[in-house]
Amino acid sequence: MALNTEPNIARPDDFYQALIEAHAGLSEVQSAALNARLILLLANQVGDLETLKEAIAAAKAAG
Amino acid sequence: MPSTYKAPEYPYARPPELAAGGVARAQVAIVGAGPIGLAAAIDLALHGIDFILVDDNNTVSVGSRAICYAKRALEILDRLGCGDAVCARGIEWKVGKVFFRDELAYQFDLLPEPGHKRPAFVNLQQYHLEECMVARLAELGHGVRWKNKAVGIDARDDGVRVAVETPDGRYAIEADYVIAADGARSALRDLMGLEWKGQVFRDRFLIADVHMKGEFPTERWFWFDPPFHPGQSVLLHRQADDVWRIDFQLGWDADPEEEKKPERVIPRIRAMLGDDRPFELEWVSVYTFQCRRLDHFVHGRVLFAGDAAHQVSPFGARGANSGFQDTDNLGWKLSRVLRGESPSTLLASYDSERVEAADENLKNSTRATDFITPKSAVSRIFRDAVLALSRTHPFARRLVNSGRLSMPTTHRASPLSTPDHDSFAGAMVPGAPAADAPVQVDGHAGWLLDCLGGRFDLLLFDAEDDAAEALAAGLGDAVRVVRITSSGAVQGQLIDFEGHAEHRYDARPGTAYLLRPDQHVAARWRAPTVDGVRAALARAQGH
């Protein structure tokens, strides 16, 4: 399973708003912890190690 | 001082060579009579090799030290003839529980299936184990030269000379080969100036042996951030004689001398037990640890084994257990080379196979250590995220790493293995350690692994008599043919009465496995031929 970087989120603006709102009122430490839990949950949803490694590489390359 | 154990004082004997020119001669000199040196000595004794085993001390280990002996190590001890003594003395366990704060995060069962002689683990203080092994060596007519300290080594192309210091003066051992089993602080490694590379972890752990009548079950319990020791981890293990091992993570800034004092240790244990039951401290130590190994375990005629060759963190019980696998791998190879049955290049496979195993152990132990002692802020954030999720989300429990416990290495890329030509399912690939199974031997209940090892075996499943006889005749003394059947009782064959062997080896009528003297698979066939087995045998013997 290759990493899908084409548009795949049905309502992108709603997702983005939900993501930002989840962090409302959190300290930097709390936000970092929330992000970590979120990454782990999403990684489990993806499951495939090669796809996850592609995602890690894509994230690193864009920075 | 332990109240439950009195260490033996083994007698020092003045070496006869002190008078006679100062040189002792042996095929092999073994330096270090810890578990690994003793295992090497017992194995060589069983192979009829002449050796001298020296140790700088005259007793067993101080403190319990290595306590968890894994199934494969117990199987090796069985082959060496001390498995029963060790298992009778020790405590069996197979369930581990991991707690986060005050809740159970998850639990694992290391041996969920029946039909194995040995359990997943036996816990036993290292001093008991060493005593069993010294007794076994004596039974074979050999001793340890106690208070004989290796202080010099001269390794040449044609032999090795080890300088030895005793209370009565110095002498030398002239040997064809030396096994360096002198532990993590190996003197031989230093004397040879070998590089010892790896990672030091910035953390300290308090280790305490506590004698008490505990009501904890015989399980491995690991806590992250428990209420009685906030922010750190704690490990609890049961040993023999109602002695419990407790490990407290202290952090890098802890003062090791202060932390060892009973007035510091006792309140920690009291807080953990949460009541006022009586207990006695038997042994306390504060340690840091490293994950590192030698580049190579074979240096000419000097062969490194155990902690002298590789050092891992204690989380995963991969130290002594991998050391036993080192000597299991080395003993038969060295014996063949010394008898002139295999070229000395066979020893290169000890290096490649056990370096591969050490890397697997280092990888697992480093990963566990990174989880227990996160090295960066972000690593700690992810660790805590995993633990937080593990309470309610099962997937996260598989990410919790309090130590991935010792499993034997399958030498997949071994130069001694013959690649499969036939198709097989299951775990018994070339390079894998043979799986156990209950069998009937001459009408009595027994175990498959007890019928294998110490020499090359051809394990033949449900073969026609003609085919089995042709193989046995064609192979002669080079291989022992061991026949096994699952279809009722046949004279002279092992009876696989529950079908476990057939299943674990994915066997069909006529299937054959060639097994090395260390019980690892060398080759397998659906329809073996004399020529095929001979070729695989030659390869496994380094020809």
For chain B, the straight-line distance linking the first and the last C-alpha, in angstroms and rounded, comes to: 53
Q: Average pLDDT of B111-115?
A: 89
CA distance B284 to B62: 11
Closest by alpha carbon to B66, among B44, B43, B81, B86? B86
Instruction: State whether B388 and A33 contact (CB < 8 Å).
Output: yes
CA distance B179 to B302: 6
**B-chain residues near A36 (CB < 8 A):** 381-382, 384-385
What is the identity of the amino acid at B441? V
Residues of B with CB under 8 A from a CB of A: 378, 381-382, 384-386, 388-389, 393, 395-396, 399
* Two tokens, residue B202: 């910035």
Q: Average pLDDT of B388-408?
A: 92
Instruction: State whether A40 and B384 contact (CB < 8 Å).
Output: no
Closest by alpha carbon to B7, among B80, B54, B57? B57
Q: Determine the pLDDT at residue B135.
A: 98
- In B110-260, where do the E strands start and end? 121-123, 149-155, 160-166, 169-180, 197-200, 205-212, 220-224, 233-238, 243-249
* Two tokens, residue B310: 């590789």
**A-chain residues near B382 (CB < 8 A):** 36, 39-40
Q: Determine the pLDDT at residue B313.
A: 87
CATH topology for B16-91+122-195+294-356?
FAD/NAD(P)-binding domain (3.50.50)
Helices (H) and strands (E) in chain A, counts: 3, 0
**Count of C-beta atoms within a 10 Å radius of residue B214:** 16
For the domain bounded by B438-540, which CATH number is listed? 3.40.30.120
Nearest chain A residue (CA) to B382: A36
The pLDDT tens digits for B180-226 are 999 999 999 999 999 998 888 889 999 999 999 877 889 999 999 99
Note the Cα B232 to chain centre separation in Å: 29
How much is the pTM?
0.95
Which of B117-126, B145-154, B272-281, B467-476 is predicted least confidently? B272-281
CA distance B434 to B515: 8
Which of A34, A44, A56 is the best substitution to test chain B (most B C-beta atoms within 10 A)? Answer: A44
State the count of interchain CB pairs (< 8 A) between A and B: 26
Angle CA(B506)–CA(B511)–CA(B514) in degrees, nearest 5?
Answer: 100
The pLDDT tens digits for A27-43 are 999 999 999 999 999 99
The mean pLDDT of chain B is 95
The low-confidence residues of chain A, meaning pLDDT below 50, are none
ipTM of the complex model:
0.97
**A-chain residues near B381 (CB < 8 A):** 32-33, 36
**A-chain residues near B386 (CB < 8 A):** 40
The pLDDT-based confidence of B1 (bands split at 50, 70, 90) is: low
CA distance B308 to B311: 7
Q: Determine the pLDDT at residue B487.
A: 80
Domain borders along chain A are 27-63
CA distance B325 to B337: 19
Q: Determine the pLDDT at residue B324.
A: 98
Residue B114 makes CB contacts below 8 A (sequence gap 6+) with none
Closest by alpha carbon to B384, among A53, A25, A30, A42? A30
What is the identity of the amino acid at B208? A
Instruction: State whether B393 and A41 contact (CB < 8 Å).
Output: yes
Instruction: State whether A40 and B382 contact (CB < 8 Å).
Output: yes
**A-chain residues near B378 (CB < 8 A):** 32
What is the identity of the amino acid at B129? L
The pLDDT tens digits for B223-263 are 999 999 999 999 999 999 999 999 999 999 999 999 999 99
Residue B311 makes CB contacts below 8 A (sequence gap 6+) with B184, B198, B289, B290, B291, B292, B293, B319
Select from B381, B393, B395 the Cβ nearest to the Cβ of A36.
B381
Q: Determine the pLDDT at residue B48.
A: 97
How many angstroms separate the CA of residue A28 from the nearest CA in chain B?
12
* 3-state helix, strand and coil shares in percent for chain A, rounded to the nearest 5: 70, 0, 30
Select from B385, B396, B399 the Cβ nearest to the Cβ of A33.
B385
DSSP structural state of residue B145: B
* A37 in contact with B, Cβ within 8 Å: yes
User: What are the residue ranges of CATH 3.40.30.120 in chain B?
Assistant: 438-540
